[in-house]
Structure 1
Amino acid sequence: MTTATLHEKQAKDQRSLDEQEIRALINSMHKAHHDKNGAAIAALYDRQAAVFNLAPPLTHVGVDVEEKQRWLDSWATPVEIESRDLRVTISGDLAFVHGFIRLRGTKKGPEGPVDFWMRETLSLERQKGTWRIVHEHTSVPFYMDGSLRPAFDLKP
């Protein structure tokens, strides 16, 4: 095996390990939602992460554990999150993930059952050997027919 071939194999092996770690992080986030554990969710993010999620305002800096816990506590059932079609791209200590996530459960109060798909993009950075989310963007498309209705009925 040539030195170049050996380096290519090592790089491929490292990318494979990194992807496994990133997918494990995403699974940990899903489990923390199911368990309604706001602190466990926040621990996956950089403190200065740029978060563009569905909740106002337009942007958040990091994850506010108390705010996240209040949201989790507004659910009567576990918050089920399912990923689909996630693509992971890794370059050194940076990674980019995009795909779809399904949010399911039953809210307390008049909202009742919730079940819809949305788009998600995550950027991660390896910090001191651990992957952390440094950017998150989730969105729900809306109908461009003038009604501005969210397209909660779409599925991947």
Structure 2
Amino acid sequence: MTENKDEIIALCQTLDRAHHDKDAQAIAGCYAPDAVIYSLAPPLGERGLDRRGLDAWLATWDGPIRIDAQDMELSVTEGLAYSSALNRIRGTKTDGEEVDVWFRTTMCFRKTGEGWRIVHDHSSVPFYMDGSTRAAVDLRP
């Protein structure tokens, strides 16, 4: 199991580096073609990574996108694994806005002929239950 865990951690590091470098091809390579994705952006969900949407999102960043995981928990079996973590995304948008937001992520991984791939990715932020339905992007762990 240690080898599988190391391979999944390496996949997550590849994904982090690909975001840093704004490399859509490398990001997409971390996912299974039919992955279920519940990202922070609309729509509510999709199957497969939307490359046009990803390219458009990456183009809104000026410089690297830094995503750091905290409190990651990883459970691995022979061919399936899942992780949960708090993630912090930081960087500068093309309009000069500085982004520094924490969000939650749960991922499921499957071992394929090409190695481990993300088959389910769910990211979210809580929202305030005060009637405003504002996203709680000001929270810190």
Fold in common (TM above 0.5):
yes
Paired with 2:2 and 2:140, the residues of 1 have a C-alpha distance of 29
Structure 1 stretches of at least 4 aligned residues deviating more than 4 Å after TM superposition: none
Which residue of structure 2 aligns with residue 23 of structure 1?
9
Alignment equivalent of 1:65, drawn from 51, 55, 76: 51
Paired with 2:85 and 2:67, the residues of 1 have a C-alpha distance of 13
Count of residues in correspondence between the two structures: 141
1:116 aligns with 2:101: yes
The amino acid of 1:26's aligned partner reads C
Higher helix share: 1
The amino acid of 2:8's aligned partner reads I
Q: Which runs of 5+ in 1 are unaligned?
A: 1-14
Q: Can you list the C-alpha shifts for 1:28-70, whole angstroms capped at 9, x where unaligned?
A: 1010001000010001100000000011111121112232122
1:47 aligns with 2:30: no
Displacement of 1:107: 1.0
SS at 2:140 equivalent: coil
Higher Rg: 1
Q: Which runs of 5+ in 2 are unaligned?
A: none
User: Higher relative contact order at CA 8 Å, sep ≥6: structure 1 or structure 2?
Assistant: 2
Which residue of structure 2 aligns with residue 9 of structure 1?
none
Paired with 1:26 and 1:34, the residues of 2 have a C-alpha distance of 12
Identity %: 42
The amino acid of 1:22's aligned partner reads I
Query: Is the CA contact 2:4–2:78 (under 8 Å) kept in the aligned structure 1?
Result: no
Q: TM-score, normalised by structure 2?
A: 0.95
Query: Is the CA contact 1:51–1:60 (under 8 Å) kept in the aligned structure 2?
Result: yes
Paired with 1:101 and 1:27, the residues of 2 have a C-alpha distance of 13
Displacement of 1:137: 0.1
Aligned pairs for 1:1-156 within 5 A:
15-109=1-95, 112-128=97-113, 130-156=115-141
SS at 1:28 equivalent: helix
Q: CA RMSD in A?
A: 1.2
Paired with 1:19 and 1:144, the residues of 2 have a C-alpha distance of 37
